[in-house]
Amino acid sequence: MSIKSDNRHLYLQVIDRIKHDIETGVYKEKQKLPSEFELAKQLGVSRATLREALRVLEEENVIIRRHGVGTFVNSRPLFTSGIEQLNSVTDMIRQAGRKPGTIFLSSSVQEPTEEDMRKFQCSADDDILLIERVRTADGEPVVYCIDKILCKYLPKGISYEQESLFENLHNQANRDIAYAVARIEPLGYHEKVSPILQCEPETALLVLKQMHFDKNDEPIFYSINYFRSDKFSFHVLRKRINF
């Protein structure tokens, strides 16, 4: 089982070998890997080399290390999307072959804060509808959502039969979202959100903050979505300019 067969750095060979073993089912999702001593012996490398490989694999979310417990194979994301694609959470769940659902936690009308007035380019008289929800896939909680919408676009509030805000806005206000300005941030354990999403203590969150605009460049709604990193992954297509 030794991997000393090419001229690359040994830790790179270890990374490839462990990834291969995961892909071929030698190690399954959430399975505990052998101890560092045993794994280093099996691969024919030093423990220092193995630790470097494990460090990289942890950064790539291939494995997860639990202090005092061991190293485990991370779950593969069920939902993937290009960050350049503006998909609703509902569509992402459907595209993965799962049934989307919604748990409505709260809904309230608030006066806009100074930050709201800046983001929405509105006045102090424009009330804000604040919605707190949990999105589910086949009944499993996967995304915690906070949405702010100008009340004038949804004067009747959100329709609980239509789970997508995109659909609500289209049907009630004839407003279609054309694009969004987004920022994505990694986040560790969150005291409120992580228990709601039934996350393990080591499971990170991906926080996607977006302001959504219509085709006339008017800001329509702002969202903060907390995605389970073991369920969702995002990627982006980058192109060279003047090539």
Angle of CA points 170, 196, 68, to nearest 5°: 140
Per-residue pLDDT at 215 exceeds 60: yes
User: For residue range 71-105, what is the model confidence (pLDDT) as tens digits?
Assistant: 998 877 676 766 667 778 888 888 888 899 999 99
In whole angstroms, what is the distance from residue 95 CA to residue 137 CA? 11
DSSP readout, 155-196? TT---TT---HHHHHHHHH---EEEEEEEEEEE---TTHHHH
Report pLDDT for 60.
Answer: 81
Report pLDDT for 2.
Answer: 53
Mean pLDDT, residues 111-121: 95
Closest by CA to 215, choosing from 161, 169, 182, 155, is 169
In whole angstroms, what is the distance from residue 31 CA to residue 62 CA? 12
CA 199 to chain centre: 13
**pTM of the entire structure?**
0.72
**Domains in the chain, ordered, with CATH?**
8-71 (1.10.10.10), 77-233 (3.40.1410.10)
User: For residue range 118-166, what is the model confidence (pLDDT) as tens digits?
Assistant: 999 999 999 999 999 999 999 999 999 999 999 999 888 777 766 688 8
The pLDDT-based confidence of 177 (bands split at 50, 70, 90) is: very high
In whole angstroms, what is the distance from residue 47 CA to residue 5 CA? 18
